[in-house]
Amino acid sequence: MGYALDFGWLNGAIGMIASGAAMTIFLIAVTTVAGVILSIFGAAAKRSRYPILRKAVGAYVELIRNTPFLVQLFFIFFGLPRFGIRLDPVVAAMLAMTLNMTAYTTEIVGSGLDAVPKGQREAAAALGLPTWLVFIKIVLPQALKVIFPALTSQIIIMMLESSVVSQIAVRELTYEADMLQARTFRAFETYFIVTLVYLGMSIGLRRLLFAGGRRAIAGGMA
């Protein structure tokens, strides 16, 4: 007995898939912005004069990098309410994703900052720029240029990993797929289509980041 694949349900499902994809894109956009900003602080703290600060950031990075994202998510969503911190699923997902992302990007951003020659900083200081301006105008753009490919990969990995936040009922792409297959009883076809959507999103995101990044960085980020 053969099984005939049926994609007839797809017509009525495009809206759900699109809104799920939009949620996934929203989550990864928030995570990327928050993660990159936080990891600049994280990288700075890891290079600070205070051993406690260095150790704390180091411990955080190791803790996140050596445990599964799914467990971190469950810990935040199910574990924190015990201390009266009750989070909306979307907020919990954003928090878990940002904490996870930051642990990886702290290392990436840090290596980028290390790669900027010391003379750049000294030259800018000699021109009379204040320290914060030296950082924003001179050091950061050069560091971003170095780490751009690694950062892009990490953003895509995080986007793919965000599929597990469906487990706490965030209505993103995977969650919508779960709902759809429960309604259509066409599990394989549903996940097949959604997998293709993810593939398209990761290819598109890579293209977009590289195109946007090249323009922004080549023209001088600052």
Partner 1 sequence: MIEFTFWDIVRNLLLAARWTVLLSIVAFAGGAIAGVAILLMRISKRRWLRRAAEYYIGLFQGTPLLMQLFLLFFGLPLLGFRIEAWTAAVLGLTLCASAYLAEIWRGGVQSLPSGQWDAGSSLGLHYVAQLRLIILPQAFAITRAPTVGFLVQLIKSTALTSIIGFEELVRTSNAINNATFEPFTVYGLVALIYFVLCYPLTRYTKILELRTARQH
- Is the CB of 65 or the CB of 183 nearer to partner 1? 65
Torsion, Cα of 158, 161, 162, 163 (10° steps) = 150
How many residues touch partner 1 (CB under 8 A)? 38
The answer to whether the beta carbons of residues 144 and 113 sit under 8 Å apart is no
Q: How many other β-carbons are positioned within 10 Å of the β-carbon of residue 49?
A: 6
The answer to whether the beta carbons of residues 209 and 52 sit under 8 Å apart is no
The answer to whether the beta carbons of residues 90 and 166 sit under 8 Å apart is no
Q: How far is the CB of 6 from partner 1 (least distance, A)?
A: 11
The answer to whether the beta carbons of residues 170 and 93 sit under 8 Å apart is yes
Structure tokens at 198: 């993810």
Query: Does 82 engage in binding with partner 1 (CB under 8 A)?
Result: yes
**Separation of alpha carbons 214 and 156, rounded Å:** 17
| Binder among 54, 163, 179, 217 for partner 1 (CB under 8 A) | 163
Query: Does 62 engage in binding with partner 1 (CB under 8 A)?
Result: yes
Q: How far is the CB of 39 from partner 1 (least distance, A)?
A: 19
| Binder among 31, 39, 72, 106 for partner 1 (CB under 8 A) | 72
Mask: binding to partner 1, 179-208, rule CB under 8 A, as x and -?
Answer: --x-----xx--xx-xx--xx--xx-----
The answer to whether the beta carbons of residues 103 and 65 sit under 8 Å apart is yes
| Binder among 16, 34, 44, 80 for partner 1 (CB under 8 A) | 80
Query: Does 67 engage in binding with partner 1 (CB under 8 A)?
Result: yes
| Binder among 55, 65, 207, 214 for partner 1 (CB under 8 A) | 65
Q: How many other β-carbons are positioned within 10 Å of the β-carbon of residue 86?
A: 11
CB burial readout 52-63, b (16+ within 10 A) else e? eeeeebeebbee
| Binder among 7, 26, 78, 210 for partner 1 (CB under 8 A) | 78
- Is the CB of 102 or the CB of 134 nearer to partner 1? 102
| Binder among 18, 29, 33, 71 for partner 1 (CB under 8 A) | 71
Please give the residue ranges that form the binding site for partner 1 (CB under 8 A).
Answer: 3, 62-63, 65-72, 74-75, 78-83, 156, 160-161, 163-164, 167, 174, 177, 181, 187-188, 191-192, 194-195, 198-199, 202-203
